[in-house]
Amino acid sequence: VLPSASSRPDAVFARVRSQTAFEETVDQLGTAIKLGLLAPGSRLPAERDLCERLGIARSTLRQALTALGHSGHVYATRGRHGGTFVADPQPPAHPPSPEMLSQWRETCDRRLAVELGVAVLAADRAESAELDALDDVALALEDALEDFPAYRQADIRLHVGLAEAAHSACLVREMTEVQGAMTDLIAHIAHPPEVLTSSNAQHRRLLAAVRERDGMRAARVMTEHLKGTEHVLAGLLPGG
Amino acid sequence: VLPSASSRPDAVFARVRSQTAFEETVDQLGTAIKLGLLAPGSRLPAERDLCERLGIARSTLRQALTALGHSGHVYATRGRHGGTFVADPQPPAHPPSPEMLSQWRETCDRRLAVELGVAVLAADRAESAELDALDDVALALEDALEDFPAYRQADIRLHVGLAEAAHSACLVREMTEVQGAMTDLIAHIAHPPEVLTSSNAQHRRLLAAVRERDGMRAARVMTEHLKGTEHVLAGLLPGG
DNA sequence: AGTGAAGGGTCGAGGGCCAAACCATTTTCC
DNA sequence: GGAAAATGGTTTGGCCCTCGACCCTTCACT
């Protein structure tokens, strides 16, 4: 009845991704650690508590923790005041895998969607106290122009914090996922202080727009902000 | 070193969702059928081909097809020109589950993010021919004001088509997922023709903005468009 | 020394998924 | 009419993941 009857999106028969519980746990905890959401030196909940929160068996959780311990991201101590702790310092990041690099544009697209949604929703729902806390993070960003790892860390806090201010649990989760993927991509490329300075200007304008409840202005600033990274990647990676 | 050291997003220790390959296949194919991406009466690829495309074993695929057959969404015939076909007519939709209803706001948030990303990217990347095809779909929408199932079908074609015009495979996939969830929510509520008329006006403005490569205007129109459905849901469902 | 809380380890049962056959049915071709 | 081909339908065996239960080891506090 409609035109183009034979057009069927490839997504319909796309590969079904079935990660095991073990893999998903390693990804989730590993990403949280890499993003600094779990600070180095901080203690994870006890295994018997954590496995219940994650909805998996303790033996499965232990496999994940063993893997994270083997890669140097966590360590465990036994005894009365023991526990599993985030390693400090963290092990050096791996260079991005070839398949990761080949999907960099898709990753940027996902990020654009999540960040735009967060910007618009945060402008609607953010509370004053939450924005005050984000202003503090923006201040910290100003002092980290020379130390990219520290800058990236604060940048992540800002973006994830904005997602929390949007009061949408699913967007917080998607934000952490996509920031994890982005970190893998940009951790190994140069970031001159000038670029970070202009990024900070955009952060300030973004927070101002959100505070004034101007969702569309926030979306516009966010778009420009993300275009910056995308241009850097387009210059360095194949498949532009 | 940073303020608010003890704030840890709930997402870090959120429940790990490990769907089985069987469940994911039922979801993926079932959603494609419910959305009309696989037209009633059309034939699916042969099991031996399809399982390879999906990256699963044939026995697992057969479990999914058996489940879809049991619910009346597909039927199979044997022999030289046999195959698995999408049922025509489709079985009536189930009323949304309580847990689905309780998550309606999160679903809307996800949709906002995906649709905003698609709107901005489509304005950047859509080709003229793709937009012409979407104009045809918009025309079909004008003639379906009295028949909500048909309207919804065309509406989905428009939104998924826009995602394809954004040339981002992952956003197409997310769009189908989120449209499937939205369909479950809105299939059982009243849609007076006046609402659909105003929706159509927004569709036209959206396509116009995309054609003029004005991403931010497309985003603004899209936001208004989605606010409409959200207000309807907010009036009918709990937890506003 | 005892207790309690934490991680470390082992074992077996159950189930999902896979691979590779083989069976049944229908159509086409020789 | 019979063979071949293409399809869905069925069975079997095995591997690996996950679970749950149990016990051990370590170590601070009392």
- Radius of gyration over every alpha carbon of chain B, rounded to an integer in angstroms: 20
Asked whether the beta carbons of A83 and A77 are under 8 A apart, the reply is yes
Asked whether the beta carbons of A171 and B110 are under 8 A apart, the reply is yes
Asked whether the beta carbons of A3 and A56 are under 8 A apart, the reply is no
Instruction: Give the mean pLDDT of A128-150.
Output: 95
B173: closest chain A residue by CA? A11
Give the three-state DSSP class for A75: strand
Please check whether strand C approaches the CB of A150 to within 7 Å.
Answer: no
Give the three-state DSSP class for A83: strand
Please check whether strand C approaches the CB of B58 to within 7 Å.
Answer: yes
Tens of pLDDT, residues B26-51: 999 999 999 999 999 999 999 999 99
Among B1, B6, B7, B16, the strongest candidate for a mutation testing the A interface, having the largest count of A CBs within 10 A, is B16
Contact call for A45 and B160, based on CB within 8 A = no
B164: closest chain A residue by CA? A9
pTM of the model: 0.94
Question: CA-CA distance, B156 to B210, in Å (whole number)?
Answer: 17
Asked whether the beta carbons of A176 and A31 are under 8 A apart, the reply is yes
Q: Give the per-residue pLDDT at B7.
A: 67
Strand partners, A43: A85
Q: Give the per-residue pLDDT at A238.
A: 77
Of B92, B8, B71, B218, the residue nearest A116 (C-alpha) = B218
Tokens 């998550």 -> residue: B103
Of B1, B4, B6, B14, the residue nearest A38 (C-alpha) = B6
| Nearest-by-Cβ selection for A120 from B13, B56, B223 | B223
Please check whether strand D approaches the CB of A48 to within 7 Å.
Answer: no
Residue A8 clears pLDDT 90, i.e. is over it: no
Distances (CA, A) of B232 to A81, B103, B236: 53, 15, 7
Contact call for A169 and B118, based on CB within 8 A = no
A43: which DSSP letter?
B
Distances (CA, A) of A240 to A95, A104, A105, B148: 20, 10, 8, 42
Ranges assigned E (strand) in A44-168: 74-77, 83-86
Quote the tokens at residue B180: 């499937």
CA distance A29 to chain B (A): 7
Confidence of residue B5 (pLDDT cuts 50, 70, 90): very low
Question: How many residue pairs bridge chain A and chain B with CB atoms within 8 Å of each other?
Answer: 177
Question: CA-CA distance, B53 to B233, in Å (whole number)?
Answer: 37
Question: CA-CA distance, A30 to A180, in Å (whole number)?
Answer: 9
Quote the tokens at residue B15: 């429940």
Q: Give the per-residue pLDDT at B81.
A: 93
Report percent pLDDT > 90 for chain B: 89
Question: CA-CA distance, B95 to B75, in Å (whole number)?
Answer: 23
Beta-carbon contacts of B103 under 8 Å, excluding residues fewer than 6 positions away, are: none
Please check whether strand D approaches the CB of A76 to within 7 Å.
Answer: no
Written as one string, the DSSP assignment of chain B is --S-TT---GGGGPPP----HHHHHHHHHHHHHHTTSS-TTPBPPPHHHHHHHHTS-HHHHHHHHHHHHHTTSEEEE-STT-EEEE-SSPPPPPPPPHHHHHTHHHHHHHHHHHHHHHHHHHHHH--HHHHHHHHHHHHHHHTTTT-HHHHHHHHHHHHHHHHHHTT-HHHHHHHHHHHHHHHHHHTTS---HHHHHHHHHHHHHHHHHHHTT-HHHHHHHHHHHHHHHHHHHHHHSS--
Tens of pLDDT, residues B134-144: 999 999 999 99
Q: Give the per-residue pLDDT at A6.
A: 56
Residue B118 C-alpha from the chain's centroid = 13
Phi, psi of B84, rounded to the nearest 5 degrees: -105, 130
Q: Give the per-residue pLDDT at A3.
A: 42
Asked whether the beta carbons of A33 and A74 are under 8 A apart, the reply is yes
Asked whether the beta carbons of B34 and B93 are under 8 A apart, the reply is yes
Task: Look at A143-152, B126-135, B210-219 and tell me which has the smallest mean pLDDT.
Answer: A143-152
Tens of pLDDT, residues B93-142: 999 999 999 999 999 999 999 999 999 999 999 999 999 999 999 999 99
Total residue length of chain B? 240
For the beta carbon of residue A132, count every other beta carbon within 10 angstroms.
Answer: 11
Beta-carbon contacts of A43 under 8 Å, excluding residues fewer than 6 positions away, are: A83, A84, A85, A86
Instruction: Give the mean pLDDT of B1-30.
Output: 82
Confidence of residue A4 (pLDDT cuts 50, 70, 90): very low
Give the three-state DSSP class for A2: coil
Which residues of A fall within a CB distance of 8 Å from B32?
A: 12
Q: Which amino acid is at B206?
A: L
Q: Give the per-residue pLDDT at B6.
A: 55
Please check whether strand D approaches the CB of A46 to within 7 Å.
Answer: no
Residue A119 clears pLDDT 90, i.e. is over it: yes
Tens of pLDDT, residues B82-93: 999 999 999 999
Residue B3 clears pLDDT 60, i.e. is over it: no
